[in-house]
């Protein structure tokens, strides 16, 4: 499929397949999840898909055979397969930035051939991986010495957004597989509290900073990087030579890296065809590789690649990310669901929902079609969540008894990473119980039959009919984490493709950034600035200056 034909697709809501889904939605209005189960005793096993150690149970959704048939037809009519081919081939499907979208090349095997502008990018990918491996081994073995000759014990990644969330999430998720001799921290916020707290107990002579920024111009990252340099130099009485042993860079911008004062031989590169939120498997994952070692990092990449191959070659009806995407789109567009909850039942996945929040919302939170016109349909819902079981004691109330539809993804692993007593059986029981309760609920009659007074029973009523996906995965390993992340990446791709938006730019974050840059002098200046904002913003600026004792 040519990029031009992607842009020129007919309006989604005018496709016969879309209209058929809208009609079908009406016919489903009175069908409940319980009805669907009653009509088909084998639904639980039939409506599930197994791939790569992931058992995806999608039976507890408001979907019938007919729904799925229509959704697959919509994907076909939308040209998802051609779009997918174009992405894997390195065509410039990120049309607003004129870039290929090739995060899949980052995890391709060394003998793969993937061309951008006629050049095979795979050798360069593996070259950077080798350099990252050498560096990681030097840190892990204590061979890399700081300026005072001491080995490095602390790694601090300075980055934000795509240059932070992935590595920070992966470090938490794979703690069990990480070196315990190293302390690894992540500083992202321009708020000084972040840098202060993350470095408070670290010895600068044993600390190395990875300054991780695709552009190397990001306000937060460069502010933190300059603060880090001062912090290091202070420990070495201002000896500028010290920074060479305490800073490395991850970037696509060699000029800015050199300008900052990091020798480009200590720079790990990547390419403009890797989007920030798709970059944790590029050099942006350097801290992950230091933590896991090169072998563990390769396993993570192999997991991504497994899912790439599954997505690329499995028929739609058995394709895990495709099915997940279509069911999500069904709720977002035809049931008006404004959110999706991501509920991993694994404490190591503490930051998984936050990671997916960026992946999904920055990719598909858009209102402009590829052809420049405004969409006439809903796009990305809000993504949020927390690990279970903690969330059960907090916000699940609203999912169970609230007035809004919140489709939820439950993610759990069969084989526990830490086997202690019966913790894991209790954890898994909670997943299965929650999804059962959400789907089937409990009626007032059933509650009254248990002796609850009639006035109280309605308060205890559980309406059920709350849809969930369950991902029962083998075990949380680097490889499995890679598979899961790639699954969501491709889910996002399929939805963005059908919605006819560009999932790979992020123009919506630009305006606020520019305005903040322009406002910094208005806050800092010694003299009273002339303000020309709206009256609310002007008042806030004046109030802040006043509170800080400025004119």
CA 91, CA 87: separation in Å to the nearest integer? 6
CA 479, CA 202: separation in Å to the nearest integer? 31
Say how many C-beta atoms besides its own lie within 10 A of residue 333's C-beta: 23
Distance in Å, CB of 541 to ligand G6Q, minimum? 25
Which region, left, alpha or beta, applies to residue 184 given φ > 0 means left and ψ of -120 to 50 means alpha? beta
Distance in Å, CB of 25 to ligand G6Q, minimum? 33
* Residue with Cβ nearer ligand G6Q (275 or 391): 275
Q: Does 310 bind ligand G6Q (CB under 6 A)?
A: no
**Which one of the listed residues 30, 265, 374, 393 is annotated catalytic?**
393
CA 498, CA 517: separation in Å to the nearest integer? 36
DSSP 175-213: GGGS-SSSEEEEE--SSHHHHHHHHTT--GGGEEEEEE-
Residue of closest CB approach to ligand G6Q: 161
Distance in Å, CB of 165 to ligand G6Q, minimum? 8
DSSP 65-110: HHHHHHHHHHHHHHTHHHHHHHHHHT---BTTTTB---GGGGGS-T
The 8-class DSSP code of residue 532 comes to: -
Distance in Å, CB of 161 to ligand G6Q, minimum? 2
Distance in Å, CB of 270 to ligand G6Q, minimum? 10
Stretch that binds ligand G6Q, among 87-95, 273-281, 393-401, 421-429 (CB under 6 A): 273-281
Q: Which of residues 512-551 bind ligand G6Q (CB under 6 A)?
A: none
**Which one of the listed residues 295, 513, 543, 551 is annotated catalytic?**
513
**The binder of ligand G6Q chosen from 78, 104, 199, 221 (CB under 6 A):** 221
Say how many C-beta atoms besides its own lie within 10 A of residue 315's C-beta: 9
**The binder of ligand G6Q chosen from 59, 94, 157, 213 (CB under 6 A):** 213
Q: What is the length of the chain?
A: 551
Site string for ligand G6Q, 328-367 (x = CB under 6 A): ----------------------------------x-----
Buried b / exposed e along 277-303 (16+ C-beta atoms within 10 A): bbbbbbbbbbbbbbbbbbebbbbbbeb
Stretch that binds ligand G6Q, among 73-81, 271-279, 402-410, 419-427 (CB under 6 A): 271-279
What crossing angle do the helices spanning 165-173 and 352-364 adopt, rounded to 10°? 150
**Which one of the listed residues 362, 424, 489, 490 is annotated catalytic?**
362
**Which residues fall within 8 angstroms of residue 514, CB to CB, at 6 or more apart?**
none
Site string for ligand G6Q, 134-173 (x = CB under 6 A): --------------------------xxxx----------
Q: Which one, of 352, 347, 343, 356, lies nearest residue 431 by Cα?
A: 343
Distance in Å, CB of 286 to ligand G6Q, minimum? 13
Stretch that binds ligand G6Q, among 171-179, 225-233, 275-283, 431-439 (CB under 6 A): 275-283
* Residue with Cβ nearer ligand G6Q (221 or 468): 221
Total residues contacting ligand G6Q by CB under 6 A comes to: 14
Q: Does 506 bind ligand G6Q (CB under 6 A)?
A: yes
Catalytic residue list contains 459: no
CA 72, CA 317: separation in Å to the nearest integer? 7
Q: Which one, of 131, 164, 531, lies nearest residue 358 by Cα?
A: 164
* Residue with Cβ nearer ligand G6Q (83 or 214): 214
CA 464, CA 426: separation in Å to the nearest integer? 22
Catalytic residue list contains 362: yes
CA 412, CA 377: separation in Å to the nearest integer? 33
Stretch that binds ligand G6Q, among 70-78, 212-220, 318-326, 390-398 (CB under 6 A): 212-220
Catalytic residue list contains 513: yes
* Residue with Cβ nearer ligand G6Q (215 or 539): 215
> Which DSSP helix (H) or strand (E) runs through 376?
none
Q: Does 218 bind ligand G6Q (CB under 6 A)?
A: yes
Give me the sign of the Cα torsion angle 231, 237, 238, 243. negative
* Residue with Cβ nearer ligand G6Q (188 or 205): 188
Distance in Å, CB of 300 to ligand G6Q, minimum? 19
Q: Does 496 bind ligand G6Q (CB under 6 A)?
A: no
* Residue with Cβ nearer ligand G6Q (218 or 435): 218
Distance in Å, CB of 108 to ligand G6Q, minimum? 21
Cα 265 to the chain's mean position, in Å? 30
383 phi and psi angles, rounded to 5 deg: -110, 130
**The binder of ligand G6Q chosen from 167, 275, 387, 464 (CB under 6 A):** 275
Distance in Å, CB of 396 to ligand G6Q, minimum? 30
> Could you list the active site residues?
362, 393, 513
Q: Which residues lie near ligand G6Q (CB under 6 A)?
A: 160-163, 213-215, 218, 221, 275-277, 362, 506
């Amino acid at each position: 499929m040519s990029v031009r034909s992607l842009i020129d697709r007919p309006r989604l809501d005018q496709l016969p397949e879309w209209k058929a889904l809208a009609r079908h939605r009406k016919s489903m209005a009175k069908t409940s999840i319980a009805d669907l189960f009653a009509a088909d005793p084998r639904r639980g096993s039939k409506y599930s898909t197994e791939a790569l150690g992931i058992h995806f149970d999608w039976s507890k959704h408001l979907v019938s055979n007919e729904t799925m048939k229509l959704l697959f037809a919509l994907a076909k009519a939308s040209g998802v397969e051609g779009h997918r081919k174009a992405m894997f081939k390195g065509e410039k499907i990120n049309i607003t930035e004129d870039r290929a979208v090739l995060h899949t090349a980052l995890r391709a095997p060394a003998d793969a051939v993937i061309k951008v502008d006629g050049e095979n990018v795979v050798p360069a990918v593996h070259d950077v991986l080798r350099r990252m491996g050498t560096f990681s081994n030097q840190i892990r073995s204590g061979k890399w010495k700081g300026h005072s000759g001491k080995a490095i014990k602390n790694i601090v990644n300075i980055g934000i957004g795509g240059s932070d969330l992935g590595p920070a999430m992966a470090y938490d998720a794979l703690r069990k597989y990480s070196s315990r001799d190293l302390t690894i921290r992540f500083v992202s916020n321009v708020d000084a509290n972040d840098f202060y707290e993350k470095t408070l107990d670290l010895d600068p002579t044993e600390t190395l900073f990875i300054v991780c920024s695709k552009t190397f111009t990001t306000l937060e990252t460069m502010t933190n990087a300059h603060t880090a340099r001062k912090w290091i130099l202070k420990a070495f009485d201002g000896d500028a030579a010290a920074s060479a042993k305490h800073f490395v860079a991850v970037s696509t911008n060699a000029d800015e890296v050199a300008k900052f004062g990091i020798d480009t031989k200590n720079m790990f590169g990547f390419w403009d065809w890797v989007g920030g939120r798709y970059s944790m498997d590029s050099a942006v994952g350097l801290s992950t590789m230091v933590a896991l070692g090169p072998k563990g990092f390769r396993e993570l990449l192999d997991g991504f690649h497994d899912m790439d191959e599954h997505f690329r070659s499995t028929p739609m009806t058995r394709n895990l990310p495709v099915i997940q995407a279509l069911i999500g789109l069904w709720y977002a567009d035809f049931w008006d669901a404004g959110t999706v909850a991501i509920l991993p039942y694994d404490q190591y996945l503490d930051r998984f929902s936050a990671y997916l929040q960026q992946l999904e919302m920055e990719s598909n939170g858009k209102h402009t079609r590829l052809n420049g016109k405004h969409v006439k349909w809903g796009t990305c819902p809000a993504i949020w969540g927390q690990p279970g079981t903690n969330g059960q004691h907090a916000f699940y109330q609203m999912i169970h008894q609230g007035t809004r539809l919140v489709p939820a993804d439950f993610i759990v692993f069969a084989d526990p990473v830490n086997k202690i007593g019966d913790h894991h059986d209790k954890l898994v029981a909670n997943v299965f119980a929650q999804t059962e309760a959400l789907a089937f609920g409990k009626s007032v009659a059933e509650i009254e039959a248990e002796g609850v007074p009639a006035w109280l029973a309605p308060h205890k009523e559980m309406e059920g009919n709350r849809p969930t996906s369950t991902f029962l995965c083998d075990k949380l390993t680097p490889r499995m984490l890679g598979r899961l992340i790639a699954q969501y990446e491709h889910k996002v791709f399929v939805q963005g493709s059908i919605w006819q938006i560009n999932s790979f730019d992020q123009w919506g974050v630009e305006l606020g950034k520019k305005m903040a840059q322009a406002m910094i002098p208005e806050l800092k200046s010694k003299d009273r600035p002339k303000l020309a904002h709206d009256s609310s913003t002007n008042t806030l600026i004046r109030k802040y200056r006043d509170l800080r004792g400025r004119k």
